[in-house]
Structure 1
Amino acid sequence: MTRSISGRVAELGLALEAAAAPAANYVSCVQEGNLLYISGQISRKDGKAAFLGRLGDQVSDADGVEAARLSALGVLSQIAAATGDRLDRVARVVRLGVFVASTPDFNRQSAIANGASDLMVEVFGDAGRHARSAVGVASLPQGVAVEVEAVVALAQA
C-alpha cells in the first residue's frame, strides 16, 4: 500500500484538491492529543461548490452519493495537510458526521452517507471503519447537498 494519503487516493483514480481554507471564524482542523477533529467539508470540484440543491428535490441519490464522496475527499485533504500526507499517521477514522440537505420526506440519508464511508474504507482499509451519524438538514453552506466532518485517531509521529 502507498505510504501517502494522496498516493492511495490516486491509486483509486481520484485526486485530492488543496485543503480548503475555513470560510468563517474557525479552523479547518484541531489536534487534541492523538485525535484530529476535522471541520465540515462541503462537496467541491475544481475548487468550487459542487452538487447544489437538496436530495429528494434537485439532487438525485446517485449525485448525492458522489457529493458525499467529494466531501470525504475534502476530509482526506485536511488529514493529509495535518499529517504531512502520511498514510501511516492515521490509526483509525473514529467518526464521520454526514449532513444531507434534503426535503422533509427524504429518508435515505444513510445511503447517501455511504459515499463518504465507503471512501474511508477504500483508503484506510479496516482502519477506515468508523461510527457515523447521517442527518437530514434543510440547507448547507453554499447550497451544497452534503457536508462531512470527522474525528480521526492519529498514530504516534
Structure 2
Amino acid sequence: MTPMTDPAEVLRQKGITLPPPLSPAGQYSPVRQVGNLVFLSGMGPTNAPEGVPVTGKVGRDVSLAQAQHAAYLTCLNALSSLEAHCGSLSAVAGFVKVNGYVNCAPGFIDLPPIIDGFSSLINELWPQSIPHARAAIGVAELPFDICVEVECVAELR
C-alpha cells in the first residue's frame, strides 16, 4: 500500500500557493457536501495575483499549451474552494469525477490533453488514490468567455 501523501505539503514543496476561493457568479454554492462526497461547481481559470479570468476560444485565440495551463489554474481554484470547505486538503481522500469543458473553435478536437492540465495536478497530490473518472467536452461558449471550466466531485476520508 502506498503511504498517504499530504497534498498541502506537496503544494508547499512545489512552491504553489492557492489563490483565494472564487465567489459564485450566480445563485448557487461553489461547494456542496453530501455524505462523504464534495461537489464543486463549475469554475474557471484566473491569473494570480490579479484574479483576472483566462479567456478566449481554444484553437483560435488560445493555444493548446495555454489551455492546458488554464486547466491547471482552474485546478488551483478548485483546490482553494475545497480547502476552504474542508479546512484542510488532508481531509480529502481523492477525486471521484472531473468534467472538463473547453471553449473551442469549430473543428478543434484535441480536448483530453487540455483537461490533463487539471488531472495531472490532482494525480500528483493524491497518488495513492484510484484515478478519477473524467469527461473532456468541447463547447461553443462558456460563461464570461473563459477558455476552460471544470466541475468535479471529491471524496472525503
TM-score with structure 2 length normalisation? 0.90
Q: Which residue of 2 aligns with 1:53?
A: 56
Q: Residue by residue, what CA displacement relative to the aligned partner does 1:43-63 show, whole Å, maximum 9, x if unpaired?
A: 012242333101110000000
Q: 1:72 is matched with which residue?
A: 75
The match for 2:45 is 43
Helix, strand or coil at the partner of 2:120: helix
Alpha-carbon deviations, 1:52-108, whole Å to 9, x = none?
101110000000000000001111111111110241x11120010111000120001
CA contact (8 A) 1:40 1:147 kept: yes
Which consecutive residues of structure 2, in runs of 5 or more, have no partner in the other structure?
none
> Secondary structure of 2:126's partner?
helix
Aligned to 1:120: 122
Q: CA deviation at 1:32?
A: 0.3
Matched residue, 1:133? 135
Distance 1:121 1:114 in 2: 10
* Identical positions, percent: 34
Measured in 2, the distance between the counterparts of 1:14 and 1:72 equals 12
Deviations 1:7-29 (A, max 9, x none): 43222232201111111000011
Q: What is the letter of the counterpart of residue 68 of structure 1?
A: A
Q: Distance in 1 between matches of 2:89 and 2:137?
A: 30
> 2:146: which partner in 1?
144
Kindly tell me: are residues 86 and 120 of structure 1, through their superposed partners in 2, closer, same or farther at Cα, counting changes over 3 Å?
closer
State the match for 2:11 in structure 1: 9
Q: Confirm or deny that 1:111 pairs with 2:113.
A: yes
Could you list the structure 1 runs, at least 4 aligned residues long, displaced by more than 3 angstroms after superposition.
none
Whichever residue aligns with residue 44 of structure 2, its letter is I
Unaligned runs of 5+ residues in structure 1 are none
Structure 2 counterpart of 1:60, one-letter code: S
Counting matched residue pairs gives 153
CA contact (8 A) 2:5 2:127 kept: no
- The structural deviation recorded for 1:126 is 3.2
RMSD: 1.6
Residues 67 and 145, structure 1, Cα contact 8 Å, conserved in 2: yes
Output the TM-score relative to the length of structure 1: 0.90
